[in-house]
Amino acid sequence: MKAFVEFYNNSTGWNGVDFSGPFKWVPTCGSDGYRALDSRWSLRRMHGKATKLTVEHFRGSVRAYRLFRGNLRSSTPVSGIITVQKL
């Protein structure tokens, strides 16, 4: 079984009139939207790695992630959307 992390950004908040919201989480586009993880890892270790990737690799441009198990087409989320605070 495979495991991966999906990264999320805030939406622009466009509501048809202005940019006042509501804001929601939208998946990051392109190849940066997913990263493979070692499926043998515990859930706690996967959370640690996903947080580290969010903070170090994206440098604050990505603000949240969600963990999945399975392949990309038929996966099961194993966490909700986890918000990462900017450092």
Q: What is residue 86's predicted lDDT score, i.e. its pLDDT?
A: 66
Q: What is residue 87's predicted lDDT score, i.e. its pLDDT?
A: 57
Residues 18, 37: Cα–Cα separation, whole Å: 39
Q: What is residue 60's predicted lDDT score, i.e. its pLDDT?
A: 62
Q: Which of 16, 24, 52 is nearest to 37 (CA)?
A: 52
pLDDT block averages, 10 residues each, the chain of length 87 = 88 81 84 88 93 80 87 87 80
Q: What is residue 79's predicted lDDT score, i.e. its pLDDT?
A: 93
Q: What is residue 65's predicted lDDT score, i.e. its pLDDT?
A: 93
Q: What is residue 1's predicted lDDT score, i.e. its pLDDT?
A: 75
